[in-house]
Amino acid sequence: MLDRDEDILKAAEDWQKAGRGVALATVVDTWGSAPRPAGSSLVINDEGTFLGSVSGGCVEGAVVTEAMDVIASGKPKMLEFGVADETAWNVGLSCGGTIRVFVEKVG
Protein backbone atom coordinates (compact mmCIF):
# COMPACT_ATOMS: atom_id res chain seq x y z
CA MET A 1 0.00 0.00 0.00
CA LEU A 2 1.34 3.42 -0.88
CA ASP A 3 0.65 5.95 1.80
CA ARG A 4 2.80 8.96 0.97
CA ASP A 5 0.81 11.81 -0.58
CA GLU A 6 3.20 12.12 -3.51
CA ASP A 7 2.84 8.38 -4.31
CA ILE A 8 -0.95 8.61 -4.23
CA LEU A 9 -1.03 11.71 -6.44
CA LYS A 10 1.52 10.16 -8.84
CA ALA A 11 -0.68 7.07 -9.17
CA ALA A 12 -3.70 9.30 -9.90
CA GLU A 13 -1.72 11.15 -12.57
CA ASP A 14 -0.41 7.94 -14.14
CA TRP A 15 -3.88 6.35 -14.24
CA GLN A 16 -5.39 9.47 -15.76
CA LYS A 17 -2.66 9.65 -18.43
CA ALA A 18 -3.40 5.99 -19.23
CA GLY A 19 -7.04 6.90 -19.89
CA ARG A 20 -8.50 5.58 -16.64
CA GLY A 21 -11.25 7.35 -14.72
CA VAL A 22 -9.89 8.41 -11.32
CA ALA A 23 -11.36 9.58 -8.01
CA LEU A 24 -9.67 10.91 -4.90
CA ALA A 25 -11.14 10.26 -1.44
CA THR A 26 -9.88 12.45 1.41
CA VAL A 27 -10.64 12.36 5.13
CA VAL A 28 -11.92 15.88 5.84
CA ASP A 29 -13.09 15.51 9.43
CA THR A 30 -12.78 13.08 12.33
CA TRP A 31 -14.50 12.79 15.69
CA GLY A 32 -13.47 10.59 18.59
CA SER A 33 -11.19 7.68 17.92
CA ALA A 34 -10.45 7.59 14.18
CA PRO A 35 -8.07 5.19 12.43
CA ARG A 36 -6.62 7.80 10.05
CA PRO A 37 -6.24 11.58 10.51
CA ALA A 38 -7.83 14.32 8.44
CA GLY A 39 -5.94 14.71 5.19
CA SER A 40 -5.48 10.96 4.66
CA SER A 41 -6.19 9.99 1.06
CA LEU A 42 -7.22 7.07 -1.10
CA VAL A 43 -7.04 7.16 -4.90
CA ILE A 44 -9.30 4.85 -6.92
CA ASN A 45 -9.46 4.10 -10.64
CA ASP A 46 -12.41 2.95 -12.72
CA GLU A 47 -11.27 -0.68 -12.47
CA GLY A 48 -11.59 -0.57 -8.67
CA THR A 49 -7.84 -0.51 -8.06
CA PHE A 50 -6.90 1.72 -5.13
CA LEU A 51 -3.88 3.00 -3.25
CA GLY A 52 -3.65 4.73 0.11
CA SER A 53 -6.01 4.56 3.06
CA VAL A 54 -8.78 6.58 4.64
CA SER A 55 -9.67 4.18 7.43
CA GLY A 56 -7.03 1.57 8.02
CA GLY A 57 -9.16 -0.87 6.03
CA CYS A 58 -12.46 -0.82 7.94
CA VAL A 59 -14.49 1.16 5.37
CA GLU A 60 -12.23 1.16 2.31
CA GLY A 61 -14.56 -1.18 0.37
CA ALA A 62 -17.52 1.16 0.80
CA VAL A 63 -15.41 4.18 -0.22
CA VAL A 64 -14.22 2.37 -3.36
CA THR A 65 -17.82 1.52 -4.28
CA GLU A 66 -18.91 5.15 -3.82
CA ALA A 67 -15.85 6.34 -5.77
CA MET A 68 -16.89 4.20 -8.74
CA ASP A 69 -20.22 6.09 -8.77
CA VAL A 70 -18.38 9.42 -8.54
CA ILE A 71 -16.15 8.48 -11.49
CA ALA A 72 -19.21 7.51 -13.56
CA SER A 73 -21.34 10.53 -12.66
CA GLY A 74 -18.69 13.19 -12.11
CA LYS A 75 -20.62 14.33 -9.02
CA PRO A 76 -18.64 14.52 -5.75
CA LYS A 77 -19.96 12.94 -2.56
CA MET A 78 -19.47 13.53 1.15
CA LEU A 79 -19.52 10.22 3.04
CA GLU A 80 -19.76 9.70 6.79
CA PHE A 81 -18.82 6.54 8.65
CA GLY A 82 -19.24 5.84 12.34
CA VAL A 83 -20.52 3.23 14.69
CA ALA A 84 -23.77 2.97 16.61
CA ASP A 85 -25.06 0.05 18.67
CA GLU A 86 -27.45 -1.13 15.96
CA THR A 87 -24.85 -0.85 13.17
CA ALA A 88 -21.75 -2.07 14.98
CA TRP A 89 -21.41 -5.13 12.77
CA ASN A 90 -22.16 -3.37 9.48
CA VAL A 91 -19.69 -1.19 7.59
CA GLY A 92 -18.42 1.31 10.08
CA LEU A 93 -15.66 2.14 12.47
CA SER A 94 -15.19 -0.40 15.20
CA CYS A 95 -12.95 2.10 17.01
CA GLY A 96 -16.03 4.11 18.00
CA GLY A 97 -15.20 7.30 16.12
CA THR A 98 -16.63 9.02 13.08
CA ILE A 99 -14.95 10.12 9.86
CA ARG A 100 -16.17 12.25 6.97
CA VAL A 101 -14.67 11.46 3.57
CA PHE A 102 -14.97 13.69 0.51
CA VAL A 103 -14.84 11.82 -2.80
CA GLU A 104 -14.22 13.73 -6.04
CA LYS A 105 -13.42 12.85 -9.62
CA VAL A 106 -9.92 13.80 -10.75
CA GLY A 107 -9.58 15.62 -14.05
Residue 86's pLDDT band (boundaries 50, 70, 90)? very low
pLDDT digits (tens, 9 = 90+) for 13-58: 999 999 999 999 999 999 877 788 899 999 999 999 999 999 877 6
Question: Which residue range is the domain that position 69 belongs to?
Answer: 5-105
Model confidence, pTM: 0.84
Helix (H) or strand (E) holding 22: strand 22-31
Q: How many domains does the chain have?
A: 1
pLDDT band (50, 70, 90) for residue 60: confident
What DSSP string describes the chain? ---SHHHHHHHHHHHHHTT--EEEEEEEEEESS-SS-TT-EEEEETTS-EEE-SSTTSSHHHHHHHHHHHHHH---EEEEE---GGGTTSSS-TTS-EEEEEEEE--
Q: What is the mean pLDDT of residues 91-99?
A: 64
